[in-house]
Structure 1
Amino acid sequence: MGTDLRNRQAHHRHRCSVPERGDISKTDVSYTNRVQPESDPQGGRWRIVGLAATLTTCLATTVLFMFALAALGPFLITDLGIDRTAFGAITGAMFLTAAVAAPRAGALVDGLGPRRVLLGVFALAATGLVGAALSPAYPLLLVAAVAAGLALTTGNSVTNRLVAAHVPSAAQGTLMGVAYSGAQVSALLTGAALPLAALAVGWRGALLLSAFIPLLGIAGAMMAVPSHPPHSEQARATRTHDRELIRWMSAYAFLMGCGATGVPSYLALFAVDDLQLTPATGGLAVACLGLAGILGRVWWSRQTHAAHNPAVTMAWLAGCSCAIQLGLLAAALTGAAWLLWPAALLFGLIPLSWMPVAMIAVVAATPFETAGRAAGRVQRTLFVGAAVTPPALGLLIDVQGHYRGAWLALTATFALATLAAWRPARSETIRLSTDAMKGA
């Protein structure tokens, strides 16, 4: 009798066992990623449009705190009586929080589900903005930055997971570019509107007004994001996790995170301090950067998805970023205010466009069920670079009394990023990983 019972248990375990990931014929639909065709194509297109709008709002709100501070920097420094090192430390605290939480962000998305995490992102972003607006003293601004950092750390992971789960492969590159342009939408809106709002209602009132954006995002997430991922028809989990690609992406992300965070954080202050422009004009420069960034992120994402070679694309982005940063350095050396405008436009088009290209590579090179974790690892190094750069640049500016040393340091950072990208671009392992994108 005991033998019969053991035989029945063994037979039951055999029938219920999870198939090996390398065996496509036995792979269960829960391991798959290719979205089934919609029975209602028109309705499916509208659902993707709604998802794109919601994810764009999500990534706009994750950096809204940083761009709002950048646009309102001249008002905030004057009102609180702080130096540029302390000002940069606010943004640094935001990114430091994101760096600490990043390793857990992907697992959180994979565990709780992207819809719940997305709602949490909007709630935390609103909390950070309202907290900063109501803070009576500088230390409480740092506390508000922690809430904003928690929103930032999960925004990219949840976006990657939702795109992988709900968007057909052919449209993923374009939608990633649209969604990741949300950060530049944030720069455009804050740079154009918040300095003018601060003249009318003060910088605190301007921050309160900006908190309505994540509240709109909550409504969009409730309507546009499904509660459960769709069923799929073909296994994607047969691709192994490319550790070499993730390590390379992490190093590149650190360097680009340093460079691409420093300029937006101090561009408005540079216009006021070194070029003798008004705070409203400095905010307009940030808006120009954001407007160009919207176009740049969409265009570079589409080009990367078509070429299937993100390593080469990233090398070009970093090299061009180095040249553009030299333009800002020339403006600091000569005092030529007109150089601010082409530099801001080109900086938005190129240096700020690297992130969606990187995320396309992460989504393509990792299995569906671990895409959130892989994105979290890459983001952690990005956030570390972004955390140390604003306070370090602020200290350099305070000590030197000008922006020349700061802009030179960022030029060197972009040069190192170029070197970091070209070697893996020629690697056979990276080429094999990018070939896998054809099936993404």
Structure 2
Amino acid sequence: MLGRNRPPRRRVVTRSNGEEEVAAPREEGDANRPLYRWVVVLVATAVQAATGYVVLGIGALTGFFRDAFDLTGYQTGMVVTAVALAPLFVLVPVGRMLDRFGQRAIVTAGGLWLGIGAAIAATASSFPILLAFLFIGGAGYATSQPGGSKAVAGWFRSERRGLAMGIRQTGLPLGGALAAATLPAIAEARGWQTALMTTGGVATVGAIVFGLVYRDPAAVERDDYPFSETLKRLLSERFMRPILGSGLVLVSAQLCVVAYLLLFLRDVHTIPLTTGAWVLSVSQILGMGGRVLLGAWSDKRWHSRRLHLVILSLMMTASLLCVLAWLPEGVSVGAIGVVAALLGFFAFGWYGPWVVHISDIAPRGYVGLTLALSMSATQLGIVAAPPLFGLLVDISGSYRFAWLVLAFGQVICALGVAFHLSRVSREDSEVEWHRSYQGV
């Protein structure tokens, strides 16, 4: 086992200027500033909403991109993929930088990069140029998800982290809900270019606010292990398998709903894009509620078993995708809205307990890297799922088949996570990690 028979490693802290010094362990957060913890939650939520307004806003504009550039279903999915592809390559280095330099500078710089990139993409005159600018700007999104989560994890102890993290995780569906409610109307009135420029402005403002208000804890504690060794160790750990698998599968459902629900409602149920945008907005709002309620519930009854709520989300998402697939033609918008709302609660709400579980189980001092590595799996789903879903629609000529394939994946993943939990506990994984490095 890696690290066996080695002497215990020294513990070091990295100051904001990059200098290191030996330090004793300390608790997360600052007991003398309890109110500021909630300010951290507020600004972390705000910057996530601002960046989510860009990333999920692209999904709300897919119908306009398809009409403007005469795209196929597969090409439409590529628009969503473009903005999410770059983070797949930079998330792990970003996690390393978060552990080393803290959240304030990294998250602020990433938000500015994303905002400027979206604004430049609004000037694109062709589909390939649009994809290129979205790809380049999308690299900035890699900082807000792990950075904001690490910010909250650093200011709250584990037993109180679920509610705080759940609130912080409402940022993404909040940004998506605002995007779904506003961007199609802006694009209808002023064109998709103005709508995309708007997303860039929102991301820029969010990054500036975070940089002005947020302060990192006094020191970032970490164990002095080589980066490559730690990364290899994390990838080989059993406790990472259900995290990576469930994140990949659930975020695939989430992004396919964001990217294709409006088109599905228009093409199958003849519901206008602007009306469908409100249905998607309702789904996003219920997703916000799901992240808060499931996160808070995980504190109360599921503190050491948060993945059980992820299994629940997988099964409910699968069931509701099947309902969506088999909705009869002519069904009312209200009935579709109810299905979309419930789907949003679980297909978006799972992220609350999932990310708290990661911050709980991550090795001390490597929360940023563990979060970033886990979110690389979700980023893979964000990149791959929309174009694959569109390809299934193109090949089969049916949204129903694509929704059912997506539902089947949720069921298989739920069974896999349940099997894992029957064999290994969270506590065993944590003990195994620390023993392997301390030569126990």
TM-score scaled to structure 1, two decimals?
Answer: 0.85
CA contact under 8 A between 2:30 and 2:217: conserved in structure 1?
no
- 1:399 is paired with a residue whose SS is helix
- What is the number of residues matched between the two proteins? 405
Specify the alignment match of 2:372 in structure 1. 376
Q: Residues 108 and 387 of structure 1: is their aligned pair in 2 closer, same or farther, counting only changes over 3 Å?
A: same
Query: How far does residue 139 in structure 1 lie from its aligned partner after superposition?
Result: 1.1
Specify the alignment match of 2:278 in structure 1. 284
Specify the alignment match of 2:406 in structure 1. 410
Question: Structure 1 stretch 277-286 or stretch 56-65: which is displaced more?
Answer: 56-65
Query: How far does residue 119 in structure 1 lie from its aligned partner after superposition?
Result: 0.6
Specify the alignment match of 1:254 in structure 2. 248
Question: Could you tell me which amino acid in structure 2 is paired with residue 284 of structure 1?
Answer: W
Structure 2 distance, partners of 1:169, 1:391, is 37
Structure 1 distance, partners of 2:250, 2:30, is 36
CA contact under 8 A between 1:249 and 1:378: conserved in structure 2?
yes
Q: Is 1:336 aligned with 2:327?
A: no
CA contact under 8 A between 1:305 and 1:360: conserved in structure 2?
no
CA contact under 8 A between 1:60 and 1:182: conserved in structure 2?
yes
CA contact under 8 A between 1:187 and 1:289: conserved in structure 2?
no
Structure 1 distance, partners of 2:120, 2:318, is 36
Q: Is 1:157 aligned with 2:152?
A: no
Specify the alignment match of 2:358 in structure 1. 362
Specify the alignment match of 1:183 in structure 2. 172
Question: Could you tell me which amino acid in structure 2 is paired with residue 75 of structure 1?
Answer: F
Specify the alignment match of 1:10 in structure 2. none
Specify the alignment match of 2:90 in structure 1. 101
CA contact under 8 A between 1:259 and 1:413: conserved in structure 2?
no
Q: Choose from 229, 241, 250 the match for 2:217.
A: 229
Q: Residues 373 and 434 of structure 1: is their aligned pair in 2 closer, same or farther, counting only changes over 3 Å?
A: closer
CA contact under 8 A between 2:117 and 2:136: conserved in structure 1?
yes
Question: Structure 1 stretch 378-387 or stretch 266-275: which is displaced more?
Answer: 378-387
Structure 2 distance, partners of 1:301, 1:434, is 21
Specify the alignment match of 1:296 in structure 2. 290
CA deviations over 1:182-219 (Å, ceiling 9, x no partner): 11101210111111112221121122122222222123
CA contact under 8 A between 2:53 and 2:203: conserved in structure 1?
no
Query: How far does residue 104 in structure 1 lie from its aligned partner after superposition?
Result: 1.7
Question: Could you tell me which amino acid in structure 1 is paired with residue 171 of structure 2?
Answer: G
Specify the alignment match of 2:4 in structure 1. none
Structure 1 distance, partners of 2:402, 2:395, is 11
Q: Residues 37 and 431 of structure 1: is their aligned pair in 2 closer, same or farther, counting only changes over 3 Å?
A: closer
Q: Choose from 318, 322, 334 the match for 1:322.
A: 318
Structure 2 distance, partners of 1:92, 1:210, is 17
Query: How far does residue 237 in structure 1 lie from its aligned partner after superposition?
Result: 7.0
Structure 2 distance, partners of 1:58, 1:171, is 22
Specify the alignment match of 2:126 in structure 1. 137
Q: Residues 20 and 57 of structure 1: is their aligned pair in 2 closer, same or farther, counting only changes over 3 Å?
A: closer
Specify the alignment match of 2:268 in structure 1. 274
Specify the alignment match of 1:264 in structure 2. 258
CA deviations over 1:11-65 (Å, ceiling 9, x no partner): xxxxxx97469xxxxx964643433411xx5xx41x2233222211222233333
Specify the alignment match of 2:344 in structure 1. 348
Aligned sequence identity (%): 20
Query: How far does residue 157 in structure 1 lie from its aligned partner after superposition?
Result: 1.6
CA contact under 8 A between 2:88 and 2:380: conserved in structure 1?
yes
Query: How far does residue 161 in structure 1 lie from its aligned partner after superposition?
Result: 2.1
Q: Residues 175 and 71 of structure 1: is their aligned pair in 2 closer, same or farther, counting only changes over 3 Å?
A: same
Specify the alignment match of 2:389 in structure 1. 393
CA deviations over 1:261-306 (Å, ceiling 9, x no partner): 2111111111111110111011111111111111111011111122
Write 1 or 2 for the structure with the bigger share of helix: 1
Query: How far does residue 326 in structure 1 lie from its aligned partner after superposition?
Result: 0.9
> Runs of 5+ in structure 2 lacking a partner?
1-7, 13-20, 225-229, 433-440
Q: Is 1:77 aligned with 2:66?
A: yes
TM-score scaled to structure 2, two decimals?
Answer: 0.85
Task: Write the mapping of 1:208-247 to structure 2, written as runs, cut at 5 A.
Answer: 208-226=197-215, 228-230=216-218, 243-247=237-241
Query: How far does residue 258 in structure 1 lie from its aligned partner after superposition?
Result: 2.0
RMSD: 2.7
Specify the alignment match of 1:11 in structure 2. none
Structure 2 distance, partners of 1:87, 1:65, is 16
Structure 2 distance, partners of 1:107, 1:19, is 19
Query: How far does residue 425 in structure 1 lie from its aligned partner after superposition?
Result: 2.6
Query: How far does residue 101 in structure 1 lie from its aligned partner after superposition?
Result: 1.9
Structure 1 distance, partners of 2:209, 2:24, is 27
Structure 1 distance, partners of 2:56, 2:143, is 18
Question: Could you tell me which amino acid in structure 2 is paired with residue 336 of structure 1?
Answer: V
Q: Residues 384 and 412 of structure 1: is their aligned pair in 2 closer, same or farther, counting only changes over 3 Å?
A: same
Query: How far does residue 149 in structure 1 lie from its aligned partner after superposition?
Result: 3.0
CA contact under 8 A between 2:50 and 2:175: conserved in structure 1?
yes
